[in-house]
Chains A and B, each alone.
Chain A
Amino acid sequence: MKTRVGAITDDEARFVEVYGRFARPIEAYCARRTPASQVADAVSDIFVVAWRRIDQIPAGDEALPWLYGVAYRVLSHQWRHNARSRKLIERLRGLAEVEDCAPEVLLVRNEEHRVVLAASARLKPVDQEILRLTLWEELSHADVAVVLGIEPTAVKQRAYRARLNLADEYRRLTGERQPPAARKGGGS
C-alpha cells in the first residue's frame, strides 16, 4: 500500500518503527553469535530483508521473533560462508588452525563460562540455537518455533534434550561424573 501521510509512506513508517523498536535487540542477537567486526553488516542485511518483506512482518511485539528468524537465516549463511573461507585460508596458508575470534572467546573471562560454551559447541547447531534463544534472548517455546520454523512441541522436546546433552558435555569436558540425582533437576 502506498498511502502517503505527508511525505511518509505506510511502508516507510512501518519500517522505521520496526527498526527503532528492534534494532538493538537484533544487534545484541548478532553480537552474541558473530565476531564484532561482522555485526554491523549482519544487522544491515537483516533489515534489508525486513524492508523487502515489510508487509509480512507481524504487528507489535510479534515482530521480534520474526526478525530473529531472519537473523538466524542470515547468520547461518554467514557461518557457512565463514567456514568455507576458513577452509580456503587453511589450505592456502597450510595452517592447522585459524584463530577463532568469536565474541564469546574474546569477551568471556570466566573459565566456567568458557567451558560451558565449549560444551554447547558440541551440540547440534539447531540445539545450540534453541539454548541461546531460550536462555539468552529469553524467548518462549512458541517464539522459538517462529524463529526456527518448527513446531512448538518439537522445540519443547529439543530444548529438554539440549539441556541434558549440554550438562553431559560439560561434565565430559571437566571430567566430572554425573551425580545420581542430577537428572532429576535437569532440563525442565
Chain B
Amino acid sequence: MITDDQVVALFAKANPVPSLDLIDPIEPVSPGHLEDPSERSREMTDLKTVESKDASRRRRSWLVPAFAGIAIVVGLAVVPAWDRGPASPQDVADAYMEARQDLDTEAITGLFAPDATVREDDFDLSEMPALIEFWRATGWDWTPTGCTEISSGPAYNAFTCGYEFENDWTRALDHPPVTGGITLFIGGDEISQITSLTSNIDRTQLNDVWRAVIAWMTANHPDDTRTMYTDDMSRPELHPAAIALWERYTDEYVAEIEG
C-alpha cells in the first residue's frame, strides 16, 4: 500500500521538465524596442492591457526576432569594424570568462572600456586586481560553462555567462560546486558594463560556507579579524596585509578540516 509521502514523491518525479537542460537556449531580445516605457503598467495584477490586445500580442510574437534581425542588418551597415574584426562580442565575452578562470589580471582589465561600470556589487572595478589576488590566495576556481547572447542591438550586445565555482573552503567542506552566471554588456570590442565582479553567486548556496569560515577565523584568530573583513562580516578586505592573512589562515583552516 502506498503512503502519503510516496504519492507526494511520485508527483515530484512526474515533473514534465525535471531539468533546465531540457530547455532550449534563450533567444536574444532588444528591450528598448518592446514598447514605450512611459506606457508601463503600475499594478501587479494589470494584465488586461497586455492580454486583451490580441493584435499586440501577435506583433510581440515576431517582435523580438524581427528587431534582432533589423539590429543585425543595421549593425552590419552602420557600426564600424568591431563586428567584422577579429574580436566579436561573443569572443570578448568568452575571453573574459577564460581570463577569469586563469586569474589573469592584465587580460581581464584589458577587456573593459575606460568608463566601464559594475552595476551591482560590493566591489568597484578599480578593486579588480586586488580581488583577483584574494581569489588566488583562497584558491578560487571559476570554470566557465558558456556565454549566451541575450540581447542584440546596434549599440551593444549582452551575454549571460555561466560558471561553476569552488574554492579552498568549499573543497575542504566537501561542498558541491556552486553554479551561477553574470551579464556582460559589450559595446564594440570592450565590456562597457558588468552586473557583478563576484558574479551573482547565489549567496544562499555559499552562506553556510562563508559563515563556517568566519566562525573559524573569529575563534582562532580574533586579533586579525578586523584586518581581514569588514565590520559587518559581509566582505573581505582586499589590502595586501589582509590578503596575506587570508592565504595563511585558509591553509590552516583547510589543514584542520581535512585533519
Contacts and interface: CB of A to CB of B under 8 A. Distances in A.
Contacts of B106: none
Given A7-B187, A45-B50, A52-B41, A13 B14 contact: no
Given A16-B29, A164-B4, A176-B1, A44 B23 contact: no
A15 B51 contact: no
Interface stretch (B66-74, B155-163, B210-218, B225-233): B155-163
Contacts of B117: 5
A90 interface: no
A180 to B, nearest CB: 9
A175 to B, nearest CB: 11
A20 B14 contact: no
Secondary structure at the B interface, as helix, strand, loop or mixed, is mixed
A6 B155 contact: yes
A21 interface: yes
Residues of B in contact with A, size category:
35 or more
Given A8-B192, A28-B17, A166-B7, A13 B45 contact: no
A69 B15 CA distance: 19
A1 to B, nearest CB: 11
A17 interface: yes
Interface string A159-183: 0000110110011001011110111
B55 to A, nearest CB: 14
Interface in A130-149: 131, 135-136, 149
Contact of A28 (B1, B14, B23, B51): B23
Nearest to B157: A16
Interface residues of A, number: 75
B68 to A, nearest CB: 13
Given A5-B192, A16-B151, A24-B26, A181 B3 contact: yes
Contact of A167 (B7, B29, B32): B7
A21 B200 contact: yes
Interface stretch (A92-100, A102-110, A150-158): A102-110
A11 B37 contact: yes
A52 B192 CA distance: 25
B47 A49 contact: yes
B156 A74 contact: no
A52 B2 contact: no
Nearest to B149: A20
B67 to A, nearest CB: 13
B187 to A, nearest CB: 5
Contact of B2 (A14, A103, A176): A176
Contact of B151 (A19, A77, A135): A19
A67 B5 CA distance: 29
B31 A19 contact: yes
A163 B51 CA distance: 33
B126 interface: no
B26 A104 contact: no
Nearest to B19: A28
B204 A6 contact: no
B31 A15 contact: yes
Interface string A58-85: 0111000000010001100100010000
A136 B8 contact: no
6 contacts: A12-B32, A13-B183, A19-B151, A24-B20, A69-B44, A136-B17
Interface of A: 5-9, 11-17, 19-21, 23-25, 27-28, 31-32, 40-41, 44-45, 47-49, 51-54, 56, 59-61, 69, 73-74, 77, 81, 103-104, 107-108, 110, 112-113, 116-117, 119-120, 131, 135-136, 149, 163-164, 166-167, 170-171, 174, 176-179, 181-183, 185-188
Given A48-B35, A170-B2, A186-B5, 17 more contacts: A6-B113, A8-B155, A8-B192, A8-B193, A16-B183, A17-B119, A17-B195, A19-B150, A31-B22, A44-B57, A48-B60, A120-B11, A131-B8, A171-B7, A174-B2, A176-B1, A182-B4
